[in-house]
Chain A
Amino acid sequence: MSIRERIAALLPRLAEEQQFPTQGRTFFVDLEREEVQSACIPRGVVERFLGGRGVNMFLLYNLLDSSLYPLHPDIPLIFGTGALTSMVPSASRGNCTSWSPESGVLMDCNAGDYFPSFQKLNGIDHIVLYGKAKRWTLLRFKDAVPHFLDASSYAGMNNIDLREAISADFNGKEGRDFGLVAITSAGENGVLSAGIMAGPKAVYARGGPGAKMGSLNLKAILIEGRSADLTPFRPHKGTNRDIAKKLLSTSVVKNALKTRGTPFLYKPSRLLGAMGTKNNQETTWTDKLDAENIDPFRPGMDGCFACPVNCRPLNDLSGCEHVPQDRYAKGDGPEYVTLGKFGPNIGISEVPQVLRLNNICNDLGLDTSSTGSAIAWAMELYQRGMISKEQAGIDLSWGNFESVEKLLFMIAAREGIGDAVADSSRAVQNGKYPPEALDYLMAVKGLTQSDPHDARILKAFALGLAVATRGMDHLRNRVTLEINAKINDDPAFKRELYGGEVSAEPNSYLGKEIAVRVCENTYAVGDSVGMCRFTTKLFNSPSLPGLEEFSAQLANVCSIDLTPEELNQIGLNINGVERLINASLGVTRNDDTLPRRWFEEPIEAGPYKGEKIDRGEFEAMLSRFYELSDLDEQGLPKPFFREQLLEVLGA
């Protein structure tokens, strides 16, 4: 069945009319034929998958032809906005979903800034894109009506120039007059770690969405409509005020995220001996990259649509003698992920150098997680002689800042060794590196690790990275509170938080599956309502808004009555369908694992020196996790659960 036949079969199962007061439409956009159809997601589907990530999965499950390949134009690229996006403080997120060209499994990435809110405020809940446009195209939604515009003049542009050009051409300001997502030259060139830029820094990052969008000849999506005119839903104002107060009074927001942002995370990981260094060959690094040392370069903070937190640090290297004074001397970021991936992971120890590389990645549209990991992998292969000096063409020694800067541009252009690094985790499969290079690839399900935290110590982190449906990524289920001594040392509180016995010892395997299960459910619901992970309960604080608040606001804003328990089941449903999608792409229990290094090489620094992952204990923990998740021994929904899912999924 072609994608058009699949959509034709799906449309009669969708609704013509709005199913609840704030619901928008789902647009099916044929880029090749420049045709559009639209419908509404039925209430029954919403009550099982909510919106955003959850409904994206419903759509992908129904439209995916796993006999094709990720960059085939019949494989859809789907943008979804959360059920509460733009209408609740800090809910400014949306998801982008497809079959990943980077990992080969499910692609599902999440971003904020302004685009998802403009989607929601303009009544565009989901956009399903397919077919290859005949020319570079800008898809413009004006008053929620799509138009196909020639984007040839934007081809080759990177993020800074492109956003300036579109602002000038459409006579508006991003965030006030329009929301925008766009790819850069890296996406056009099929770089597998290319993201879709949703702002100066915000990015749909993981799994190669930029390459996927580029393969459809789609340069950008513009949604116009002044946000100030598009906020009609106010019955929930009182509860929103309570949520905002709750956010701003939470310690992690008040004392960390609002002041310095996520770079605060660097120091605890370093002092635990869990800071991934030199492709995780080592686990501790210099104190020169501690968050306080970024202070002199941080002129202020920025934030996403209607978010009271403003956790995004800006940077300004003006006058810094260590780096060139050009367009990359100012920027947005870095997040902890970038600090780690472009600091210790590649052997760099100077703040200005990390900031500059961060700014270049933002302009080139490169996912700093995958790009930093791919560079670290190449550096280790260079160290071990698996990439020769001749093949590299540049010095890939650890910490060579000048080489890394040059390499970023080579990756985006797929030039020289940059062509191999641009293949990210697929470089061996694509014949760029020898097979033995896979021994040093820090990836799960084909996706390199999202964050720099080495999870050989904290076993809940390790399990989360192993079972995450999009690959080795902490944002799907991380039990971050495992690092907090006060919570670990309060068994009653911990038991109540997770609904079961989770060992107080972070390096124990006991009960960790319970905590991962609870986090995975909560975060899947958070993604589906559009809440930022940083302000979702259990991610960094037990006091942030969670299922209870989501339940209240779904009722107030959307007139959808779902109890916190029912929302928890929805979290399980979403992960269940993600596992069904992955199974159709060949994923099995053997893929719910960790890199070889973490099983075989012990940590050599810090209070947990000698720690590694025990294979037997890990497999037992994985089996317990499956049992708790209504999954069979292969990690697939058990028959009764599968039946429940298929009842709604159809197909």
Chain B
Amino acid sequence: MTSNEPFHLRVRLAEPLRGDGGEFVIVDTPVANVGELLSVLERTLPDFSSNNDELYNFAVNGELIVHGENAVALRSGDEVELLVAFAGG
């Protein structure tokens, strides 16, 4: 990623959060962190905010975020995933 490329994030959504859309969403609105990304997703994806409950965690570049979610910094080109996360089975 070079500095003159436009901002973009590739976001993979957990199945129940996809609605009628696809598996991946490209976000080209510049965001600084996960909290801002969340706002963009809530604004642009129908039904997202009502379904995005405690079952879903963010992973950024293949690493699961388990606290301080909103403050995790994002850079253009990052791979973000919203996945089903539970720990008892």
Contacts and interface: CB of A to CB of B under 8 A. Distances in A.
Nearest to B34: A485
A313 to B, nearest CB: 11
Contacts of A541: 54-55, 86
B88 A486 contact: no
B63 interface: yes
Contact of B64 (A255, A259, A607): A607
Contacts of B56: 486
A269 B87 contact: yes
Interface string B45-62: 000000101111111001
B54 A542 contact: yes
Q: Chain A interface residue count: which class?
A: 35 or more
B89 A336 contact: yes
Contacts of A534: 88-89
A274 to B, nearest CB: 9
B4 to A, nearest CB: 30
Contact of A271 (B15, B62, B69): B62
Contact of B89 (A251, A255, A265, A272): A265
B73 interface: no
A410 to B, nearest CB: 29
A473 to B, nearest CB: 12
B65 A485 contact: yes
Q: Chain B interface residue count: which class?
A: 20 to 34
B57 A268 contact: yes
Nearest to B70: A489
A254 B51 CA distance: 11
Given A271-B59, A481-B54, A489-B69, A540 B84 contact: no
A480 interface: yes
B54 A484 contact: yes
B69 A539 contact: no
Contacts of A483: 57, 64, 66, 85-87
A256 interface: yes
B85 to A, nearest CB: 4
Contact of B83 (A267, A488, A506, A533): A267
Given A486-B69, A489-B70, A272 B88 contact: no
A607 B63 contact: yes
Q: Which of A269, A271, A478, A542 has the most CB of B within 10 A?
A: A271
Q: Which of A251, A451, A606 has the most CB of B within 10 A?
A: A251
14 contacts: A251-B51, A251-B54, A256-B55, A256-B84, A259-B15, A265-B87, A268-B83, A475-B88, A478-B88, A485-B57, A485-B69, A487-B54, A506-B67, A540-B86
Given A251-B16, A259-B15, 6 more contacts: A251-B51, A256-B86, A271-B59, A480-B86, A483-B85, A533-B88
The 5 closest A-B pairs by CB, nearest first: A262-B89, A480-B88, A488-B67, A271-B64, A336-B89
